[in-house]
Amino acid sequence: MVVIRLFLVFLKVGLFTIGSGYSMLVLAQRYVVDTYHWLTLQEFTDLVAISEITPGPIMINLATFVGTKVAGFIGAIFATLGLIIIPFFTLYVISLNYAQFKNYPLMQGILKVIRPMAIGFITVAIMKLFKTSITDLRSAVIAIGVILLTYGFKVNPIYTVLGGIVLGVVMR
């Protein structure tokens, strides 16, 4: 049954991904596009972009979008629950005990490894998205402009997103 498969796929994504929602994109893309062919790479990239600009965490948004496309409202519920159930309980247990364990050498050692792993996963996700998002000079200029505005000039990302929406309407 497809809703069970959605639940299990996003359960794996939530369980086996270290780092932010961006690092989850690598595993999600592998299942959603490569293994089960629920979306094309272009559709996946489009949904990532939409998930980025809609309110809420990117991966919860993406799971909801994928679930909806594959199996409607019930698919959205199963995909989203699959994604959040293990991280929710893991974070709950960690939050109860973090203060007493945060300075232990074992915990510090784990964090020293997890931080660069998360950056590695995020970089892979960016490289994959780059292939389908930067398709011409205009898209490259837009990406560089956003980097310069948000990182270089510290423009609030809200204004960058709003500017992008306006630019998209004007350039259509």
pLDDT tens digit sequence for 124-163: 888 888 888 899 999 999 999 999 999 999 999 999 989 9
| CA angle, residues 9, 49, 40, in degrees to nearest 5 | 55
What pLDDT sits at residue 104?
86
What pLDDT sits at residue 110?
86
Contact 157, 139 (CB under 8 A): no
Same domain, 129 and 66: yes
Same domain, 95 and 25: yes
165, with CB counted inside 10 A (0-12, 13-18, 19+), is exposed
Same domain, 97 and 115: yes
Query: What's the rounded mean pLDDT across residues 105-134?
Result: 87
Domain boundaries, position 142: 136-172
Same domain, 10 and 87: yes
Query: Residue 169: pLDDT above 90?
Result: yes
What pLDDT sits at residue 98?
83
Same domain, 99 and 170: no
Same domain, 15 and 61: yes
CA 7 to chain centre: 17
Query: Residue 17: pLDDT above 80?
Result: no
Same domain, 143 and 123: no
**Residue in 91, 88, 89, 63 with CA at minimum distance from that of residue 78:** 63
Same domain, 114 and 88: yes
* Count of domains forming the chain: 2
pLDDT tens digit sequence for 36-90: 999 999 999 999 999 988 999 999 999 999 999 999 999 999 999 999 999 999 8
pTM of the model: 0.77
Lowest-pLDDT choice from 7-11, 19-23, 138-142: 19-23
Same domain, 77 and 151: no
